[in-house]
Structure 1
Amino acid sequence: MARGSTAARQSPDDATDSVLGRGARVRGRVHGDGSLRVEGTIEGDVQVSGDIEIDDGGSVSGDVDAGALTIGGQLTGNASARGPITIRSTARVSGDMLGAEVVLEEGASFTGRIEAEFELPEELTGR
Structure 2
Amino acid sequence: MFNSNEKQATAEAMNSNNIIGKGTTFTGNIETYGNIRIEGKVVGDVISKSKVAVGPSAVIEGKLLAQIAEIEGEIKGKLEVTDHLILKPTSKIEGDIVANKLTVESGAKFDGQCKMGEKNLKIELKNESQEVKKLRSAV
Calculate the TM-score normalised by the size of structure 2: 0.71
Residues 22 and 58, structure 2, Cα contact 8 Å, conserved in 1: yes
Match of 1:87?
87
Match of 1:70?
70
Shift of 1:30: 0.9
Structure 2 unaligned runs (5+)? 1-14, 119-139
Match of 1:20?
20
Residues 95 and 112, structure 1, Cα contact 8 Å, conserved in 2: yes
Match of 1:104?
104
Q: Which amino acid aligns with 1:59?
A: V
Q: Distance in 2 between matches of 1:117 and 1:66?
A: 15
Percent sequence identity is 22
Q: Which amino acid aligns with 2:47?
A: Q
Match of 1:51?
51
Structure 1 unaligned runs (5+)? 1-14, 119-127
Specify the SS of the correspondent of 2:86. Answer: strand
Q: Which amino acid aligns with 2:67?
A: G
Q: What count of residue pairs does the alignment treat as equivalent?
A: 104
Q: Distance in 2 between matches of 1:16 and 1:40?
A: 19
Q: Distance in 1 between matches of 2:116 and 2:96?
A: 11
Q: Distance in 2 between matches of 1:48 and 1:117?
A: 20
Calculate the TM-score normalised by the size of structure 1: 0.78
